[in-house]
Amino acid sequence: MSLTYMATPVLDRELKKGSAELMILSLLEYRPRHGYEIGQLIELRSRGAVRFNVASLYPLLYRLEKRNWIRGRWIEKSGQRRRRYYRLTSAGKKMLAKQRHGWAEFVAAVKLITATQHA
């Protein structure tokens, strides 16, 4: 069953919040991206299942920045407006590894439970 279908607003928010940090950190693992791009990628890669609006995406980015996991920087590329690009800090990289591991364990645990129920 898909996440969207199951989600009540509360669950949706909690789940999203736990996973959202992981998603953003993952997206920044190999290259810096600006906010719109991050939003687009999340929507694209989840095939529309997860979608952030401005009002939640940016506060999240700012929080990550405040924790020093990511760092935003205004960059002006020729022919473009200047944009704020976020990249992963070394603290962010460690956190990403940790969260990935935790998430994998969590998913496995959920799978175990849900699988048993159906079996």
Partner 1 sequence: MPDFKAEIRARLAELRLPPVREAEIVEEFSQHLTDQYEAAINRGASEEEARQAVFQDLNASELLNRELKRVERRAPANAVIPGREGKLFADLGQDLRFGLRTLIKNPGFTIVAVIALALGIGANSAIFSVVNAILLRPLPYKSPDQLVVLWENATHLGFPKDTPSPANFLDWRKQSTVFEGMAAFAERSFNLTGVGEPERLDGRRVSANLFDVLGVKPIIGRTFVAQEDQPGTKVVLLNESLWKRRFGGDPAVIGRAVNLNGEPYTVVGVLPPTVRLPTSGNWRDQVWVPLAFPSEEAASRGAHYLEVIARMKPAVTLPKAQAEMDTIAARLAQQYPATNTRIGAVVKPLHEEIVGKMKSPLLILLGAVAFVLLIACANVANLLLARAAVRQKEIALRLALGANRMRLTKQLLVESVLLSLVGGVVGLGLAYFGLNVLTRFIPHDVAQADTITIDAKVLLFTLAVAVITGLIFGLVPASQASHFNLNETLKEGGRDSGAGARGKRLRNSLVIAEVAISFILLVGAGLLINSFVHLRNLDPGFRADHLLALNVDLSEVKYPDTQRRTTFFAEVARRVQTLPGVRSVAVAGNLPLTINGDSTFIAVEGIPDPPVDQWPDVIYRTVGPGYFATMGIPLVRGRDFNDQDTLDTTPVVVISEKTAKHYWPNEDPIGKRLKPGATTNTTPWRTVIGVVKDVRQNDFIAEPKMQMYFSYRQMKDLGANALVVRTSVDPLSLGTSVRNTIWSVDKDQTVANIDSMEHIVASAVARQRFSMLLLAIFAGLALVLAAVGIYGVMSYSVAQQTREIGIRIALGAQRRDVLRMTVKEGLKLVGVGLLIGLISAFVLTRVMESLLFGISATDPVTFGIICVVLLMVAALASYIPALRATTVDPMVALRAQ
Q: From the CB of 54, what's the least distance to partner 1, in Å?
A: 5
Q: Which of 1, 10, 44, 55 binds partner 1 (CB under 8 A)?
A: 55
In the chain, DSSP assigns E strands to: 33-34, 70-76, 82-88
CB of 74 to partner 1, least distance (A): 8
Can you tell me the distance from the alpha carbon of 51 to that of 23, in angstroms, rounded to the nearest whole number? 12
**Considering CB under 8 A, how many residues would be counted as binding partner 1?**
18
For position 92 contacting partner 1 by CB under 8 A, the verdict is: no
User: What CA–CA distances, in Å, run from 104 to 34, 53, 110, 114?
Assistant: 27, 26, 10, 15
Residues that bind partner 1 in the complex, under the rule CB under 8 A: 34-36, 39, 53-60, 62-63, 66, 81, 83-84
